[in-house]
Chains A and B, each alone.
Chain A
Amino acid sequence: MSEGRTLAEKVWDQHVVRRAEGEPDLLYIDLHLIHEVTSPQAFDGLRMAGRTVRRPDLTIATEDHNVPTRDILAPIADPVSRAQVETLRKNAAEFGIRLHPMGDDGQGIVHVIGPQLGLTQPGMTVVCGDSHTSTHGAFGALAFGIGTSEVEHVLATQTLPAYRPKTMAIEVRGELPAGVTAKDLILAIIAKIGTGGGQGHIVEYRGEAIRELSMEARMTICNMSIEAGARAGMIAPDETTFEYLRGREHAPQGAEWDAAVEYWKSLRTDDDAEFDTVVEIDAASLTPFVTWGTNPGQGLPLGASVPSPEEFADPVERAAAERALEYMGLTAGTPLREIAVDTVFLGSCTNGRIEDLRAAAEVLRGRKVVTRTLVVPGSMRVKAAAEAEGLDRVFKEAGAEWREAGCSMCLGMNPDQLAAGERSASTSNRNFEGRQGKGGRTHLVSPAVAAATAVTGRLTAPADL
């Protein structure tokens, strides 16, 4: 056994409150993010047991999943959605938790606001009743999604019992070619290792191509770790991370900042540390990547064609491909570039940040969209920043709809949904059956591909225009 530890192991060990033979470690949680969907039953549980929230000061709530992205200040029309949001407001008030309600300038998707406020920092443990909590791993935090019982556990104790997952290194060699984005990279990684490939592991993304990425691009990568089945995704903090954090509302200041940076610099995998699994990806060979099926592992380069189920040797994968083609209404052999879409969705915690909007606006500037195109910023501050740069005008002049912040068509809990049989190119993270509306068909794409697709009405990369 080598002495060295991986980044994940360092952060894990730092948070062990209690360790005992034959039991899971009890881990301390530095930040607990809450939203309206997975928390009501947890607060009920607390009330029923007569318990309180141990650390409301390490907890923050926002409204995102049900938010209507039009008329955000009007009461929600759907009474069930409205009741859920009102329940969160009541719970936050009762237990003394800071909440960013709709219309508030701090409101937004839970995974967009944590980093935006500087609450997500290297070396922290971050949890949320939401699988895309893995997003926060981009800062070198250990961040993972939990269920409602665990939400209740963290509210009551600020800890979680957990077994340490195995570690996996995804080494991304070489540089990403021009026109290839973080989204293309993560879709290619998931296609390579499969939706179960990361199961039981914390993934650390490493290598030159990763170090070159901006913080927001790193968040896109870590966000989709869960789609490869991983418990969490992490990237070692570096100057890019520190620069992003410096001066943010909740970032340390003065001498505290210096001490923090000193510590953050130690958060890297030791040279002699060993990972349980190592996967290598050649960045230089990548091109824009899109999905054709109904799980995020069913993806291919945009230049490819819809595969035939016969191409899959594994009978389980073959059956899954057959079912996916039927659901998606696709014929094997059709070039992906010939697939026509009805809707383009730009947003979500994967690709709803300012850099994503800039990338799409660059493609749309001076062009017109031919499909319904929804642009939904990930938070109200992203929206304000985009408007300050005039991106909203670019979208509107192109014929796209400029909306308020929320999850929106990523999962269609609000009115933004696909109708049965409708097809989208979406910058979100899940192409599951019915994810964007019952019977809806989803192709996952990068913001640049989404924008180019809106211009032609078919899956398209900007270079094709």
Chain B
Amino acid sequence: MEAFTTHTGRAVPLRRSNVDTDQIIPAVWLKQVSRTGFEKGLFAAWREDPSFVLNDPAHEGASILVAGPDFGTGSSREHAVWALQQYGFRVVIAPRFGDIFRNNATKGGLLPVVLPGEVVEEIQDLVEADPAAEITVDLGAREVRYGADGAHGFEIDDYTRWRLMEGLDDIGLTLRYADHITTYENGRQSWLPTTV
């Protein structure tokens, strides 16, 4: 996974709440068995509408998505994270995220940033007025900076922040505790089922 420290880029305002993962990437796109090529399916249904914000040339090349509350609810499909990343997003800012989406995002190095609704709207207003405005997301300082003097802190637990900043693979980290796992396994209750 690519490490995430600080990212500065332009942002797209997505003024919708409850953007579920079926909207981020519709089910027909999930049939692929590879991990690439999902950018074409990103918001596939909405992108057919020429007035959809992602189709606005002013926002071309933006790398930060600024959305309404409950972004990424619904299905557990990690394809939603892959689609956003492969399209070019590195950060999603929203007042609230679906839990599984948020988890999936941090596994792949897409940073989900929770900011209060007013701040999200302030950033949306800013980039609507000036699509070239740059936003800085500073994971080290746990802060988003925007406009002339806009700045707002965000919360992220130390462990996830460290993992993202180092670009570390979770499996590698867990395998250091293989002995703990074996010890636990030896103590499991005997009636627990096996699938064989």
Contact = CB atoms under 8 A, between A and B. Distances in A.
B191 A259 contact: yes
Contacts of B35: 41, 44
Interface in B122-146: none
A150 B69 contact: no
Contacts of A229: 70, 73, 98-99
A59 B195 contact: yes
Contacts of A295: 18, 20, 73
B149 interface: no
Contacts of B175: 156-157
Interface string B169-180: 011011101101
Given A17-B184, A23-B159, A316 B69 contact: yes
A6 interface: no
B76 A130 contact: yes
Interface centre among A49, A158, A196, A257 (most CB of B within 10 A): A196
A146 B75 CA distance: 9
How big is the A interface, by class?
35 or more
Contacts of B173: 161
How big is the B interface, by class?
35 or more
Contacts of A87: 33
Contact of B159 (A22, A124, A144, A153): A22
B181 A158 contact: yes
Contact of A161 (B28, B170, B191, B194): B170
Contacts of A57: 194-196
B6 to A, nearest CB: 23
Contacts, number: 206
A167 interface: no
B159 A145 contact: no
Contacts of A97: 195
A231 to B, nearest CB: 5
A70 interface: no
A163 B157 contact: yes
Contacts of B63: none
B96 interface: yes
A118 interface: yes
A214 to B, nearest CB: 22
A231 B78 CA distance: 16
A416 to B, nearest CB: 12
B96 to A, nearest CB: 5
B151 interface: no
B181 to A, nearest CB: 6
A281 interface: no
Interface stretch (A283-291, A355-363, A429-437): A429-437
Interface string A247-270: 000111000110110010000000
Interface in B79-117: 79, 81, 96, 98-100, 103-104, 107-108, 117
B100 A146 contact: yes
Interface stretch (A26-34, A385-393, A396-404): A26-34
Contact of A149 (B73, B104, B117): B104
Contacts of A49: 171
A131 B76 contact: yes
Given A147-B107, A156-B171, 19 more contacts: A18-B180, A26-B180, A28-B184, A31-B193, A38-B77, A40-B33, A44-B33, A130-B75, A150-B103, A153-B170, A159-B174, A199-B98, A226-B100, A256-B190, A263-B189, A294-B18, A319-B16, A432-B23, A435-B27
The 7 nearest A-B residue pairs measured at CB: A147-B104, A147-B78, A149-B107, A252-B191, A40-B33, A145-B76, A250-B193
Interface of A: 17-18, 22-24, 26, 28, 30-31, 37-38, 40-41, 44, 49, 51, 54, 56-60, 65-66, 78, 80-81, 83-84, 87, 97-98, 118-119, 121, 124, 129-131, 144-150, 152-153, 156-159, 161, 163, 165, 195-196, 199-200, 226, 229, 231, 250-252, 256-257, 259-260, 263, 294-295, 316-317, 319-320, 323, 411-413, 430, 432-435, 438-439
13 contacts: A31-B193, A40-B33, A41-B33, A44-B34, A57-B196, A129-B78, A149-B78, A229-B99, A250-B194, A259-B189, A316-B17, A413-B28, A435-B22
